[in-house]
Amino acid sequence: MSGRLRASLRRLALPAAPLLWLLAFFGLPFAVVVKISLSDPATALPPYTPVLDWDAGLAAWADVLAALDFENYRTLIADPLYLDAGLTSLKVALGATLLLALVGYPIAYAMARAPRAWQPLLVALMVIPFWTSFLIRVYAWIAILKPDGLLNQALIGLGLVATPVEILNTPAAVMIGMVYAYLPFMVLPLYAVLERLDRGLVEAARDLGASRLAAFRTVTLPLSLPGLVAGALLCFIPITGEFIIPDLLGGTDTLMLGRVLWSEFFSNRDWPLASAIAVVLLAVVAGPVVLFREAEARRLERPETGDPR
């Protein structure tokens, strides 16, 4: 064996196992989803008829290509239900991400400016909910938001409303759930950037006569943009495909792609259509995912100490 070949084999020794594992169980499955999304549904086990038969040989490929009718995708375009679900997903994801940025920024800012000794505790307080069951945290809101729930009891007790307000099973409940569940994902990347921000720059701006607001707008905000972008992507991508929150807190009218995919799969047992929805969802989030990967790679390659940029 040549020395170079051996050296390159040795370099592959560490990455080989995780690389092969992720290719087999994360990369390859997407190819299968695309393949099934082109199949026809059938009353069988598994419930689809394959269009592509890998053993058929090259000659059969012409037939396969000719037989492709993209029926499932045409269904998605033709039925307004799916278009609605797609638009709702985008609207909810964009709205929730914006709301998260507005709510999360002041929190991250206060954390970064808190006394040094408190900061590990504050970070831990932000991280703990992330470790606590997502399902349970969403479920906790049902008891609060339902018509005879704690929020309505409080509102009526305070005399603010006379009759219970309908919140559960509305888009507002979904928004509350999204902001609640994804808040740490927005706050932590923002905090990481704000904490390392050179305060001297803000002080210099203030000394030069900038108002608090002007110093924030021209110095702090632009410098914290990488954290804001990372947080926004970390929220936007999973929210687009979110299932649990719209299912438990949303009404029947809050159809999102994740929920439609789930019901096509589990209730209608239409695996090809569910796959087609997955491909569409994937296309929607592919761009943000690549952006996120780039942002993370850049962050990790930056040296830990010294200039934050």
Partner 1 sequence: MSRPHPLAWAALALGLAFLYGPILLLVAYSFNASRLVTVWAGFSTRWYAGLLDNGPLVDSALVTLKVAFASASLATLLGTLAALALDGRRRFPGRPLLTGLVYAPMVMPEVITGLSLLLLFVGLGIPRGFWTIVVAHATFTLCFVAVVVQARLRLLDRALLDAAADLGAAPVTVFRTVTLPLIAPAVIAGFLLAFTLSMDDLVIASFVSGPGATTLPMRLYSQVRLGVTPEINAISTLLIGAVSLAVLGASVLTARGR
* Contact (Cβ atoms closer than 8 angstroms) between residue 213 and residue 167: no
Per CB under 8 A, which of residues 43..102 are in contact with partner 1? Answer: 46
Shortest distance, CB of residue 66 to partner 1, whole angstroms?
23
What's the CA gap between 267 and 269, in Å, rounded?
6
**CA 287 distance to own-chain centroid:** 12
The answer to whether the CB of 167 falls within 8 A of the CB of 210 is: no
Task: Look at phi and psi of residue 69 and say left if phi exceeds 0, alpha if psi is from -120 to 50, else beta.
Answer: alpha
Query: Of the two residues 73 and 262, which places its CB atom closer to partner 1 in the complex?
Result: 262
CB 248 within 8 A of CB 139: yes
Question: Considering the complex, what minimum distance in angstroms separates the CB of residue 260 from partner 1?
Answer: 10
Contact pattern for partner 1 over residues 147 through 176, marking x by CB under 8 A: -xxx--x-----------------------
**Does residue number 19 form part of the binding site for partner 1 (CB under 8 A)?**
yes
User: Alpha-carbon distance 172 to 195, whole Å?
Assistant: 33
Q: Among residues 137 and 171, whose Cβ is nearest to partner 1?
A: 137
Measure the CA–CA gap between 76 and 190, rounded to whole angstroms. 38
Q: Phi, psi (5° rounding) for residue 49?
A: -105, 125
Instruction: Scan residues 242-281 and list those touching partner 1 (CB under 8 A).
Output: 242-244, 248, 257-258, 261-262, 265-266, 271, 274-275, 278, 281
Nearer to partner 1, 133 or 268 (CB): 133
Instruction: Kindly determine how many residues on this chain lie close enough to bind partner 1 according to the rule CB under 8 A.
Output: 96
- 72 versus 240: smaller Cβ distance to partner 1: 240
Contact flag: residue 146 with partner 1 (CB under 8 A): yes
Nearest distance in Å: CB 2, partner 1 = 16
Site mask, partner 1, residues 34-53, x = CB under 8 A? --x---------x-------
Contacting partner 1 (CB under 8 A), which of 90, 94, 101, 103?
Answer: 103
Q: Give the closest residue to 100 by CA, choosing from 49, 40, 175, 202.
A: 175
For the CB of residue 45, give the shortest distance to partner 1 in the complex, in Å: 9
- Six-digit token string for 143: 């008891």
Of 83 and 297, which CB lies nearer to partner 1 in the complex structure? 297
Q: Which of 64, 87, 107, 165 binds partner 1 (CB under 8 A)?
A: 107
* Span 198-227, contacts to partner 1 by CB under 8 A: 199, 202-203, 206, 212
Report CA-CA distances (Å) from 76 to 57, 83, 192, 210, 264: 31, 7, 41, 54, 12
Query: Distance between CA atoms of 233 and 241, rounded to whole angstroms?
Result: 13
